Structure 1
Amino acid sequence: MVRQRALVLEDEYLVALDIETTLLGMGFDTVDIATSLAGAVLALEKGDYDCVLLDVNISGETSFDLARDLATRQIPFGFISGYSDTSGFPDDLKQSLVLGKPFDDGEFASFVANLLGDHEKAARLDMKEP
Structure 2
Amino acid sequence: MSNYSGLKVLVVEDEGFVALMIEDMLEDLGCEIVASAARLTEARGLAATATIDLAILDVNLAGHPSFPVAEILRERGIPFFFSTGYGQSGLSHDFADQPLIGKPFSAKQLQETIARALGSTNPRL
TM-score over 0.5 for the pair: yes
Query: What do the CA deviations read for 1:47-70 (whole angstroms, capped 9, x no partner)?
Result: 211001000000010001211121
- 2:44/2:72 contact within 8 Å kept: no
Question: Match of 2:118?
Answer: 116
- 2:54/2:78 contact within 8 Å kept: yes
- State the TM-score, normalized to the length of structure 1: 0.82
Unaligned runs of 5+ in 1: 123-130
Identity of aligned residues (%): 36
Shift of 1:104: 1.2
Q: Alignment length, in residue pairs?
A: 121
Shift of 1:88: 4.1
Unaligned runs of 5+ in 2: none
- State the TM-score, normalized to the length of structure 2: 0.85
Question: Match of 1:43?
Answer: 46
- 2:5/2:32 contact within 8 Å kept: no
Question: Match of 2:77?
Answer: 74
Counterpart among 95, 98, 122 of residue 96 in structure 1: 98
Counterpart among 2, 25, 47 of residue 28 in structure 2: 25
- 2:8/2:54 contact within 8 Å kept: yes
| Matched residue SS, 1:7 | strand
CA RMSD of superposed structures (Å): 2.1
Shift of 1:111: 0.6
- 1:23/1:31 contact within 8 Å kept: no
- 2:47/2:73 contact within 8 Å kept: no
